[in-house]
Amino acid sequence: MLSFQWLSILALLVAVGVYGLRPETAMEYVPKAVPASALVAAVSWMLRYFLMVPTCLGWITQSFLLLPWIITVPVNIIIWLVDFIPKAIMEVAIGKAGHLQELPRKLAKREWFIHGKAYDLSAWAKQHPGGERTIRCGQNRDCTALFESYHVFIDHAVLMKMLARFEIKDVTVPDNPQEATVEDLQIGDARQNLTGLRFCDPFHEDVKQMLRDHFKGKSHKMKEWMACVVGMLSVLELVIVYYFLSGEFWAVIALPFIAFIHVNTAHDGSHFAVSKHEWINLIASNLATPFFFTNTAWYLQHVVQHHAYTNDEDDVDLHHFPPVARVSLFTKWQDNFKFQWFTAYLGFPLVSFHFQFVIPMELLFGRIDCFSGAKRFSQAQNVEDYVARNRGQMVMELMMIWVWVFLAVACLGFKQGAYHLALSWSICSVIITLFTQGAHLQEECHLGTVETYDSWAKRQCATAVNVLPGSLPCSMISGALNMQSIHHVAPGIGSSHYIDLYPKFKDLCLKHDVQLVEVPLVDFIGGMCKWISLLSNTELEHLSRPSMSAKIMAMNPDNETVSGTKKNAAGLSVENSAANPVSE
């Protein structure tokens, strides 16, 4: 059998061959790709020959990873058989008669709300330099945060002039006190956007200028040497998939770790940061399937909600874990949270299952969660419109996952296939939870200094911790998620650039007195565990934080409540509502 080391070398040669057509860049990527290949080979050799020895510790670890599946999967199957599937069949049957009311449907309107003004960008979507998919993420919602975070290289005044020709003049936007110029926005009313925070403040403008100076005459997308590593890992992942389907146990353990580095590419792709070509970003963003998450739901969950409303009530990442655990003070206290110091960790191995099966299915059918009493991602605006416009893609992504399931079962048999799938997905879940949630589930990211900022950019820095930000191996393994603060302020930058940008970004934080937390790996893990344990304490039972939406409502008491749905300053639904859906 071909050894893992030789497979790594073969993958490197393939990647070098791909980029060999551009010899002028060889000296840049080869010195970095070769050590990366050696690192992969060394780790692979350790996995192959050392970690596969059956030990007591190994059995304990497997039990921890598989126990949640034994409990949760049967419960979900029962819920689907008793409630979900019969209801879906009934809805589809009713829908054939033209009376379907529950499934998500499109809205007739096409509006983008930016700094309190309404625009119709439909005509511009196909000409948009970042691609049509990029601009559609902001349709029928307040997309001020998206607009500001992805347009860091263009002068703000020029942007606003470009937008002016798409403004919808006959739409009345309540409480828009001033024109959206840079000067006004620096002292502007927070009610101009749903975050309740200011954009284009001096710190934000200095970060933009720093990025413009750094990338003058250079691309801010993925570096070529990093693309070489991605090519190498693509070959390696396919080889490991072959051994996985052949029943090799070491491949079950190795696949999640290799796939996670690919997930970092998917993360970059979802932020349109791999390439200037939309189709390349789209392919890259699908690399996370079928191991970690599905692309279309991830756009809404991560790009639209998490990055705009980080650690606020409208951040959907804070609502994944109830009733197993609460991870923020926005979740109402329940007695079962007393035990979340234990139950939370049993939920971590199921995160990939949650992302890839539960979320897409609940979004597609508009199912109301039996525990929370709300629809999935009800914190977002016009979720049903988004789902209806992307239903075909979501179905295709689910089919990709089921193909992987059936392939594993067909090659290995039901028992071994289910065992290997559950174990590999559990490892994937723990990895992605640690790197994506751990950076924000920290006490200093929820309480204290972070509450004093009225600047969106400053708050993005303060709601994340940074782990070993100067470490190249840590940056490569985590996809630069060890430098979350700069990523949240400028998500459209290729992650391979963050290690170069971070020292300059740190200087700007010092200049503007912005909280920038840096911790070693041990404190990073310990801080997340401490926060989860802290929220299980009954002394915090009555402690709560006002959401940004509540702050806006308090500042603007004239806003009306229509059909039980709060309205923000731009007249958009703060909570997801199926009001006035019109099928196109």
pLDDT tens-digit readout, 236-255: 889 999 999 999 988 998 89
Residue 450 CA, distance from chain mean position: 21
More confident residue, 41 or 137: 137
Exposed/middle/buried for 247, CB within 10 Å: 0-12, 13-18, 19+?
A: middle
Confidence at residue 471, expressed as pLDDT on a 0 to 100 scale: 84
- How many angstroms separate the Cα of 339 from the Cα of each of 125, 223, 334? 49, 45, 10
Domain ranges of the chain: 445-540
pTM: 0.79
Is beta strand 112-114 parallel, antiparallel or unpaired with respect to 117-119?
antiparallel
Note the pLDDT tens digit of each residue in 8-17: 445 544 544 4
Note the pLDDT tens digit of each residue in 155-190: 888 888 889 999 987 765 444 333 333 333 333 344
Confidence at residue 269, expressed as pLDDT on a 0 to 100 scale: 93
Whether 53 shows a pLDDT value over 50: the answer reads: no
Whether 60 shows a pLDDT value over 80: the answer reads: no
The residue with tokens 């007591």 is 56
How big is the chain, counted in residues?
584
Note the pLDDT tens digit of each residue in 191-210: 478 888 889 899 999 999 99
Contacts (Cβ under 8 Å, ≥6 apart) of 290: 356, 400, 401, 403, 404, 405
Confidence at residue 25, expressed as pLDDT on a 0 to 100 scale: 45
Is beta strand 465-467 parallel, antiparallel or unpaired with respect to 517-519?
parallel
The answer to whether 538 and 341 have CB atoms below 8 angstroms apart is no
